[in-house]
Amino acid sequence: MTDIAVTLADKRGTLPPEDKLGFGKIFTDHMFVMDYATGKGWHNARIVPYGQIEISPAAMVLHYGQAIFEGMKAFRTADNRIVVYRPLDHLNRFNHSADILSIPQMDVNVLHDGLKQLIEIDKEWVPKSLGTSLYIRPFVISTDPFVGVKVADQYTVFIILSPVGAYYASGFKPVAIKVEEHFVRAVKGGLGEAKTPANYAASLKAAEVAKKEGYTQVLWLDALEQKYIEEVGTMNIFFKIDNEIITPALNGSILNGITRRSVLAVAKDWGMKVSERRISIEEVYEAHEQGRLQEVFGSGTAAVISPVGELSWKGRKITINNNEIGETSQKLFDYITDIQQGRVADKFGWTGEMAKL
């Protein structure tokens, strides 16, 4: 176990009613923190009371965006264990993002130990109702007080925790998505594969416009030809065509989603035909016209599976599966959430136990 100094909060907060949690607004009593300085490496791993942080107005992250983050979830199982879904996969991706952003690599074991101790301390904050969870947000910021573009010499990594309500509070149902034809999120040679603020900053305008038009998110096309499908705002995307599950191949400009990996593994395990390949929006529309497009769904930590009931591309709207949840979408959602909340055996070894209540 890593040596982590713990300073407990004087007063503990309490978990609000579980149907009032929402997403990302409430935080637990503590956070994990660790610093980096060139020459010294990562040091001073600690758990401290959650609260405001002090930074310089010249802190590099505020000016040059050298930063990364992750997003994963802890669940409370029926037998009162706290498990995190694929923690090492998320922490390894965190380090992959670090590499892309020229941020020094972290010891995944230290992060994992820190997370485990943090969850042990704040375990009363993990909600238990169906669909609720504890959202885990590790992130690194560059903190040198320096106004000039360069790779920073000082960083801090944090892990903060937020109890979140059921994503489908008003029922599991299909969403309408706009295929973006003007804005671009990421390009080959850019930062698309990293979980870094830059990619989300680049998505705001398009999402704002789409929301005004009544869509929940945008589906990004490739930056070069605006032809091939990339991913959704905060989800990877899947198409079921002729009973085959198709998702865009990892190409350097989309996120290597952990839920995407789970979907691929489960579908394969079920004996379904699965392929990761380049797929154009034309191909999807053509399949729809020919009655071969059976389902469309997104995959991501927040929603797990999000069925898509409508796509709109250049003003051409198509309704998928009668705007109903597809059979595979439903099965995947049920099975993955059953694994996460311990209702079925975890045959893939995806959940990591962090605490017992």
List residues binding ligand PLP (CB under 6 A). 71, 231, 234-236, 255, 257-260, 299-301
Q: Is 32 in the site for a copy of itself (CB under 8 A)?
A: no
Residue 281 or residue 320: which is nearer to a copy of itself going by CB? 281
What the block records as the tokens of 34 is 């660790």
Q: Which amino acid is at 88?
A: L
Run of H or E residues at 317: strand 316-319
- Cross-strand pairs, 46: 5, 33
CB 197, min distance to a copy of itself, A: 3
Rounded distance between C-alpha atoms, residue 229 and residue 62, angstroms? 32
DSSP string, 96-137: HHHHHTTPPP--HHHHHHHHHHHHHHTGGG---STT-EEEEE
Site string for a copy of itself, 81-120 (x = CB under 8 A): -------------------xxx------------------
Q: How far apart are CA 193 and CA 164, in angstroms?
A: 26
Which residue's CB is nearer to a copy of itself, number 189 or number 271? 189
Q: Which is nearer to a copy of itself, 134 or 320 (CB)?
A: 134
Q: Out of 13, 16, 65, 131, which residue is the one contacting a copy of itself (CB under 8 A)?
A: 65
CA-based angle 164:103:162, to the nearest 5? 10
Q: 189 to 208, contacts with a copy of itself by CB under 8 A?
A: 189-191, 196-205, 207-208
Give the tokens for residue 295. Answer: 């389902």
Residue 145 binds to a copy of itself (criterion: CB under 8 A): yes
Number of C-beta neighbours around residue 190 at 10 A: 17
* The one-letter amino acid at 87: P
In the complex with a copy of itself, which residue's Cβ is closer, 187 or 272?
187
Measured between alpha carbons, how far is 101 from 104 in angstroms, rounded to an integer?
A: 9
Residue 313's binding partner, choosing from ligand PLP, a copy of itself, none, with beta-carbon cut-off 5 to 8 A by kind? none
- Contact residue for a copy of itself among 4, 31, 126, 303 (CB under 8 A): 31
The residue (of 47 and 232) whose beta carbon lies closer to ligand PLP is 232
Among ligand PLP, a copy of itself, none, the one that 257 touches (CB under a kind-dependent 5 to 8 A) is ligand PLP
Structure tokens at 155: 């960083």
* Interaction partner, residue 17 (ligand PLP, a copy of itself, none; CB < 5-8 Å by kind): none
- Distance of alpha carbon 330 from alpha carbon 338, whole angstroms: 12
What is residue 209's DSSP assignment? H
**Interface positions with a copy of itself (CB under 8 A):** 23-25, 27, 31, 50, 52-58, 61-67, 69, 100-102, 135, 137, 139, 141, 145-151, 158, 160, 162, 182-191, 196-205, 207-208, 223-224, 233-234
